[in-house]
């Protein structure tokens, strides 16, 4: 929710200053779906606010429930739609949020890229995805956030940074509980390092070979692996934090012995580089999962490379990594 107009309105109508803080507190609590339910406000004010201001910048269109994840289609005030995912595994409820409607990057393996970019999300629209889930699961709440939904977070920098501030200050989510994944927008990696936060940084690597990476991710033509590695060295020096590399395994694309060697060599250049291997989630017209995951794992162990395998959840409801798409815009 954008509080500027609300704040002006309350001043204009001479409501005491504490009313704004009270409404904000109610809103961030995730407890309410409308002003009318806020019984700690005078009835007249509740009704007026309900008629004048939308409480949320997103409205739920549909919720799909899987075993340990659920996916919601949310409609924005201009009618465009996004998807947002809630995962219930390990000790925290984790929300996977979108930062753009669609995505301009057109990675070959990702469904969102097939939509193209419609527009950036506002900071309110990013935050409201979390408040939406908090409302759904109340009194439970989202404890971890991954910016791995639709879109490229680092191409929506200002709104991303504003949303992070709200998530940390108002929803009290610790920096270490937040992860941002980028396809590698190099200038913003420097900016992110300079924010000096403990927010986790993940990089969609998918190949440590320049030509293969360009084939999978067109953005690699703009920002080469060399430039990416340089920016990440700056980041690790500045923050002393690990970088998490995402590497999905696609058959006959990035899964050969050559690719494996390149990957090992790349990871060895910086002791804070950490690998997440990801089995490919199938999408329509996309790549084929590789049968060589075991071979990769064995070879990485043999070479003393620290890594983990991300077992995606949510495939049955198309809510897994790379499967988010809304076609009926």
Q: Which residues are catalytic?
A: 83, 321
Binding to ligand SAH (CB under 6 A) within 249-308 occurs at 278, 280-281, 283, 286
Nearer to ligand SAH among residue 264 and residue 280 (C-beta): 280
Residue 71 · residue 85 · CB < 8 Å: yes
Helix (H) / strand (E) containing 12:
helix 3-12
Residue in 41, 183, 220, 249 binding ligand SAH, rule: CB under 6 A: 183
C-alpha 21/C-alpha 29 separation (Å) is 12
Give least dist CB 179 to ligand SAH, A. Answer: 10
Residue 114 Cα to chain centre, angstroms: 18
Q: Is 126 in the site for ligand SAH (CB under 6 A)?
A: no
C-alpha 239/C-alpha 265 separation (Å) is 23
Residue in 110, 121, 160, 185 binding ligand SAH, rule: CB under 6 A: 110
Nearest residue to ligand SAH by CB is 322
Nearer to ligand SAH among residue 131 and residue 287 (C-beta): 287
Residue in 145, 148, 263, 264 binding ligand SAH, rule: CB under 6 A: 148
Nearer to ligand SAH among residue 89 and residue 138 (C-beta): 89
The tokens for 5 are: 């107009």
- What does the DSSP assignment read for 179-200? EEEES--HHHHHHHHHH----E
Nearer to ligand SAH among residue 181 and residue 197 (C-beta): 181
Q: Alpha helix locations (H) across 240-313?
A: 257-268, 293-302
Residue in 32, 35, 109, 132 binding ligand SAH, rule: CB under 6 A: 109
Interface stretch with ligand SAH, choices 15-23, 120-128, 179-187, 297-305 (CB under 6 A): 179-187
The tokens for 311 are: 């077992």
Binding to ligand SAH (CB under 6 A) within 194-253 occurs at 204, 246, 248
Give least dist CB 91 to ligand SAH, A. Answer: 22
Give least dist CB 151 to ligand SAH, A. Answer: 6
Residue in 30, 66, 314, 322 binding ligand SAH, rule: CB under 6 A: 322
Nearer to ligand SAH among residue 70 and residue 182 (C-beta): 182
Handedness of CA 291, 296, 298, 299 (dihedral sign): positive
Give least dist CB 62 to ligand SAH, A. Answer: 21
What is each CA distance from 267 to 78, 208, 245, 264, 276, in whole angstroms? 44, 9, 9, 5, 11
Q: How many chain residues touch ligand SAH (CB under 6 A)?
A: 17
- What does the DSSP assignment read for 13-72? TT--THHHHHHHHHHHHT--SSGGG-TTS-HHHHHHHHHH--S-SEEEEEEEE-SSEEEE
Q: Is 321 in the site for ligand SAH (CB under 6 A)?
A: yes
The tokens for 41 are: 């406000």
Q: Is 258 left (phi over 0), alpha (psi -120 to 50) or beta?
A: alpha
Residue in 83, 125, 128, 152 binding ligand SAH, rule: CB under 6 A: 152
Nearer to ligand SAH among residue 76 and residue 253 (C-beta): 253
Taking Cα atoms as reference points, which of 219, 307, 298, 204 lies closest to residue 250?
A: 204
What is each CA distance from 316 to 67, 69, 200, in whole angstroms? 9, 10, 28
Taking Cα atoms as reference points, which of 107, 112, 130 lies closest to residue 217?
A: 107
Nearer to ligand SAH among residue 125 and residue 246 (C-beta): 246
Q: Is 134 in the site for ligand SAH (CB under 6 A)?
A: no
What residues line the site for ligand SAH (CB under 6 A)? 109-110, 148, 152, 181-183, 204, 246, 248, 278, 280-281, 283, 286, 321-322
């Amino acid at each position: 929710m954008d509080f500027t107009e609300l704040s002006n309105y309350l001043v204009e109508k001479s409501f005491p200053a504490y009313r704004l803080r009270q409404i904000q507190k109610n809103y961030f609590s995730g407890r309410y779906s409308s002003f009318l339910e806020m019984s700690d406000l005078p009835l007249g004010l509740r009704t007026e606010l309900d008629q004048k201001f939308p409480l949320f910048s997103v409205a739920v269109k549909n919720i799909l429930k899987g075993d340990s994840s659920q996916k919601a289609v949310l409609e924005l005030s201009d009618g465009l739609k996004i998807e947002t995912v809630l995962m219930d595994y390990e000790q925290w409820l984790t929300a996977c949020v979108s930062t753009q409607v669609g995505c301009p990057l057109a990675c070959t393996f990702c469904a969102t890229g097939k939509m193209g970019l419609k527009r950036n999300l506002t900071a309110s629209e990013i935050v409201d995805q979390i408040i939406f889930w908090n409302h759904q699961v109340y009194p439970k709440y989202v404890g971890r956030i991954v910016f791995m939904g639709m879109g490229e977070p680092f191409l929506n920098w200002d709104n991303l940074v504003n949303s992070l501030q709200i998530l940390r200050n108002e929803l009290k989510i610790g920096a270490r509980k937040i992860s941002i994944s980028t396809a590698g927008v190099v200038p913003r990696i420097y900016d992110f390092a300079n924010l000096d936060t403990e927010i986790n940084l993940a990089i969609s690597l998918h190949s440590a070979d320049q030509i293969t990476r360009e084939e999978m991710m067109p953005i690699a033509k703009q920002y080469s692996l060399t430039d990416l590695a340089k920016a990440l060295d700056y980041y690790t020096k500045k923050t002393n934090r690990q970088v998490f590399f995402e590497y999905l395994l696609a058959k006959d694309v990035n899964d050969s012995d050559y690719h494996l060697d390149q990957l090992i060599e790349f990871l060895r250049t910086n002791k804070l580089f950490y690998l997440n291997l990801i089995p490919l989630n199938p999408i329509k017209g996309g790549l084929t999962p590789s049968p060589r995951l075991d071979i990769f794992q064995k070879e990485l162990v043999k070479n003393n490379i620290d890594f983990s395998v991300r077992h995606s959840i949510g495939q049955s409801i198309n809510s897994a990594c790379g499967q988010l798409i809304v076609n009926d815009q």
